[in-house]
Amino acid sequence: MIRFLGKRRPAVIGLILGIVLGLMVAIGYGSTSAWLCSGISRCPGSWQPFVIVSSIIFVLIVVAMIIASVVMARLYKIFDTSIGGEKAYEPSIGTPLRDSDGEEA
């Protein structure tokens, strides 16, 4: 599963994870609502409010996951020092560059 997600763009990963998480939460909300309404005498006369709220929850979670994955991917590119290749291992200002023998290069 991780290898499958690792080959995708961040927006697609967010879409996939958002759909999975959104369906879990929306189905959980809908089933909890149905369970509570089966035991409580006062419930809405129809099922449309539960479907609308479940759909809103699903869409919000999918959008939030897409945005979060794109933002996290960009932050990873900003803060990851290994992306620069050899440039990431250059010494900082004022630090002399030494070779494997410990002598200055």
Which structural domain range is residue 71 located in?
10-33+47-78
Q: Is residue 61 part of a domain?
A: yes
Domain tally, the chain: 1
72-85 pLDDT, tens digit per residue, is 888 887 777 665 65
Q: Read off the pLDDT of each residue in 6-28 and give the average, rounded to a whole number.
A: 85
pLDDT at position 30 is 83
pLDDT at position 42 is 72
Query: From start to end of the chain, where are the E strands?
Result: none
Q: Is residue 39 part of a domain?
A: no
**pLDDT category of residue 36 using cuts at 50, 70 and 90:** confident
Distances (CA, A) of 19 to 16, 24, 31, 81, 103: 5, 8, 18, 32, 56
Q: Is residue 94 part of a domain?
A: no
Cβ-Cβ contacts under 8 Å for 58 (sequence gap 6 or more): 22, 23, 25, 26
